Structure 1
């Protein structure tokens, strides 16, 4: 019995693309943002710990992880403190097993406004991440096609990053974690608004973009140059941006698709996930700018949820 337990723990710690009896990869044990009407960041729940030391249990103190409205990283207890939402069987993020993804033909159509430059952004440190919003009077940035069953309008975007370059992204691919992951959060326009869309299992469509540390990212630079202005939680700043959001999207637009959840409490299982296969780059200086931010407990980094069991869900790989 002890030897079996040792084998099981070994499988958990490896984080490789190994499948369990439920038809999905074993949870990668490494451990966005609360979707209320004020969606400064969106969703997530209780990840498993991989023993790598990314998240320290001692950080869970004070008002951390008391209930759905009071949570912080690491998120090992979210499935208990927010059990009505964060303990479901379609939770995110997941480890994407590339070899078992079902091949599909299709591509996402971005509205022309996605290519229009936005002159001003409002960036905010909400204590969990950096979120960005803009003038609501601008033409909506929308996505369609690529397996989506409707039109989805962009509401906001935000980031998840690590304390080291070998971690930070929420999703992993074949056990590999990237330094950062950008989430562009869209709601289905037929549901009227973001808050109402949370009532439907196809209410949200989130685009996930991986970032690895390499060359400087010019579209990201206006944001990283001003992160010091929002170093403390609950601070915000209007900045000159003058870039199009399409610049954040990889030019190679093959993507993985699955049905999942928000990745912070309240973990609503209402998200159609699109995770681009090709990653973007940003510089060492840019990732350090994210790591200088503070949350309500102190230093803000490793603000990502642990990998959740696939539980038999289908993952597809879309190519044009």
Structure 2
């Protein structure tokens, strides 16, 4: 059983040697994530275009406590329920992401989750000029040419993640829908169906300017397969809303509250961070 986590004996600094499943790529890899975006070294590129995305709110199926975060499961690669629905009405629309650094490849949303700190001012995985935010939201997509998330997960162009930095401020309407569900999954393994539609597009900031670079998953197995698209404009959630995340547990009722579940920035190792010229 894998024993990685966020504690002193199994946290990110130990992932390359952690008991029960070491991940040497954590220190040996050349495109590990997250990173600190140094804005004075970002390359401005003419060829980077606008992102194109389409999400169907009905595709958000369930939310679960994974023991390291909450995770919204998105129906993205077809399922038996879609086959049944197609017999009686129009089936669910596929979710997809393209454009920007992804070119003409299409990526489907598979899940989204977050990382956060125990107090405001820390918790994001990516930092900008050394500045950390209170949390970070990740929308995880896979390249449809590989057929499934599992097949795409370890390919160099297999995944694309939209990252949103989160600061504490105004209440967030779409995040509020999620908070209503988080109170129902306090312990690891808890899971609840999503009944009311939840629109992933409503989590994106108004300004779509972004940084992009080649990176990895930020949790084991740390596959170096992610095209990262990190929005420059943070989104806001209220103090009460972020508390719902901090009230989750890493394990059962007697375990610690789920806080500081983030990986610190990794060395850039010669990679280039780019941004569109037109934004």
Same fold, TM exceeding 0.5?
A: yes
Q: Does 1:71 align with 2:10?
A: no
For 1:276, which of 204, 208, 231 is the aligned residue?
Answer: 231
2:60–2:72 contact (8 Å) kept in structure 1: no
Corresponding residue for 2:163?
208
Q: 1 CA distance for matches of 2:60 and 2:275?
A: 35
Give the Å deviation of 1:83.
Answer: 3.5
Three-state SS of the structure 1 residue aligned to 2:173 is coil
Q: Is residue 60–residue 73 contact of structure 2 (8 Å, CA) maintained in 1?
A: no
Q: How does 1:6-21 map to 2 (within 5 A)?
A: none
Displacement of 1:165 in angstroms is 0.8
Matches for 1:1-320 after TM superposition, within 5 Å? 69-73=2-6, 74-81=11-18, 82-87=22-27, 88-105=29-46, 106-111=49-54, 114=55, 116-118=56-58, 121-135=61-75, 136=78, 137=82, 138-149=92-103, 150-296=105-251, 297-318=255-276, 319-320=278-279
Q: 2:69 & 2:98 partners in 1: Cα distance?
A: 27
Gaps of 5+ in 2: 83-91
Which string of whole-angstrom CA distances, capped at 9 and with x for unpartnered residues, describes residues 95-127 of structure 1? Answer: 00111101124211113xx2x433864110010
The TM-score, its normalising length taken from structure 1, stands at 0.75
Cα distance in structure 2, aligned partners of 1:219 and 1:279: 15
Distance 2:67 2:93 in 1: 29
Q: Cα offset for 1:240?
A: 3.2
Q: Which moved more, 1:234-243 or 1:152-161?
A: 234-243
Q: Could you list the runs of 5+ residues in structure 1 that have no partner in the other structure?
A: 1-66
What is the CA-CA distance between 1:198 and the residue it aligns to? 2.3
In structure 2, C-alpha distance between the alignment counterparts of 1:249 and 1:144, rounded to whole Å: 15
Which range moves more in the overlay, 262-271 or 118-127?
118-127
CA RMSD between the two structures: 1.6
Q: For each residue in 1:19-50, what CA deviation from the matched residue of structure 2 results, as whole angstroms up to 9, or x when unmatched? A: xxxxxxxxxxxxxxxxxxxxxxxxxxxxxxxx
What's the secondary structure of 1:76's corresponding residue? helix
Q: In the TM superposition, what is the alpha-carbon distance from 1:226 to its structure 2 partner?
A: 2.2
1:193 deviates by: 0.7
Is residue 222–residue 240 contact of structure 1 (8 Å, CA) maintained in 2? no
Q: Give the TM-score normalised by the residue count of structure 2.
A: 0.85
Deviates more, 1:195-204 or 1:185-194: 195-204
My pick for the range that moved more, 268-277 or 288-297, is 288-297
Render the CA deviation track for 1:155-200: whole Å, top value 9, x for unaligned. 1100111101101111001111111111000111101111111231
Distance 1:201 1:120, change over 3 A: closer
Call closer, same or farther: CA 1:288–1:200 in 2, change over 3 Å. Answer: same
Distance across 1 between alignment mates of 2:118 and 2:261: 9
Question: SS at 1:118's partner residue?
Answer: helix
